[in-house]
Amino acid sequence: MAFFRRKVQFNDDLGFGSTPVIKNQRVLNTDGTPNIERTGLPWFKFDDTYTRLVTMSWPRFFMVILITYLIVNTLFAVAYNIIGIQNLDGAKGITLRDQFFDAFFFSAQTISTVGYGHISPQGFITSVLAAFESMLGLLAFALATGLLYGRFSRPTSKVSFSKKMVIAPYQNRSGLMCRLVNLRRNSLIDIEVQMFMTYNETIDGKLKRSFYPLELERSKISVLSLNWTLVHPITDDSPLFEKSLEELKVAEVEVFVILKAFDDTFAQTIHTRTSYQDEDIEWNAKFEIMHYHNEEGKTVLDYSLLDKTLPTSIS
């Protein structure tokens, strides 16, 4: 009563669990992150602060810094006013509003350690607070450095996968193919790829989520200089053998690709993943060739062709 033929049984849920999925539910999002919601703990128990600050987008990161800077300076401005604005020598504000801003700008000059000195602290308590604030500025530098460096140096791959998979002719049969390029100038070396398929399947009368590896014609290359087309030949052994698009839809098929490589510039191993659902698979199409040799003895790789497919027919 199994949906697919399977000569290659795969007794492994890869860590995703074997509960069957609801309509169109993905195991992986297209960016390769697991499609999971986490609950049951207070937010501060999830230890994600550094990870979040490092992985959030640049505009959002700068907003967080700017807002923190405003809040901290506001708090110190209030504190300097409570202690007494007369302790800020050179502050000329008369109204409460002006006095707040005098203290606010003094605070900014202190925490950034710019310290022009046209406003300067007098009296014991104000001097202590200013000394403390400049130490805080020192740590703020350090923090910002750590975060920025963490963001920069994170060994992210910029491997770009084609948006679609194709089912194209391959060695008198057909093959399921996708392709990929490296958006960075870094060489990627010792690249290894695995392809898996997951779908709902009834086993012993129980609906389960099954996982099968899709054998690749070639799963490892030494250097990723050009584009690389991954080919799963649809042989008798393939779980895709003689399946129709309709059957794939019903079984909520998802194909995912896991890539591991060594980044030569930063000497670190990177991982990346992507996933395709039934609507991402183009039948009877093939990829256009992406690279050629030019006159000046260079190989030219045209990235704009990555997703470009041509119609073809499988004999």
How many CB atoms sit inside 10 A of residue 150's CB?
14
- Comparing CB distances to a second copy, the nearer of 109 and 238 is 109
- CB of 218: closest distance to a second copy in angstroms? 8
Closest Cα partner for 50 from 128, 180, 150? 150
Q: Distances in Å between the alpha carbon of 108 and those of 77, 105, 119, 211, 215? A: 9, 5, 11, 57, 60
User: What is the nearest approach in angstroms of a second copy to the Cβ of residue 310?
Assistant: 17
Q: Give 69 or 283: the residue with its C-beta nearer to a second copy.
A: 69
| Residue whose CB is less far from a second copy, 191 or 216 | 191
Least spacing, CB of residue 145 vs a second copy, in Å: 4
Rounded least distance, CB 268 to a second copy, Å: 5
- Written as one letter, the residue type at 221 is I
Dist CA 279 CA 106 (whole Å): 59
User: Cα–Cα distance between 310 and 237 in angstroms, integer?
Assistant: 27
| DSSP bridge partners of 150 | none
Work out how close the CB of 242 gets to a second copy at its nearest, in angstroms, rounded to a whole number. 28
Complex with a second copy: residue 82 or 90, whichever CB lies closer: 90
* Structure letter (DSSP) for residue 217: S
Are 258 and 243 spatial neighbours (Cβ–Cβ below 8 Å)? Answer: no
Shorter beta-carbon distance to a second copy: residue 167 or 261: 261
The per-residue b/e assignment along 240-257, b for 16 or more CB within 10 angstroms, e otherwise, is beebeeeebeebbbbbbb
CB of 166 to a second copy, least distance (A): 19
Give the shortest CB-127-to-a second copy separation in angstroms: 4
Distance separating alpha carbons of residues 178 and 296, to the nearest angstrom:
30
Residue 130 vs 167, nearer CB to a second copy: 130
Beta carbons of 90 and 119 less than 8 angstroms apart: yes
Nearer to a second copy, 7 or 25 (CB): 25
Phi-psi region of 72 (alpha: psi -120 to 50; beta: other; left: phi over 0): alpha
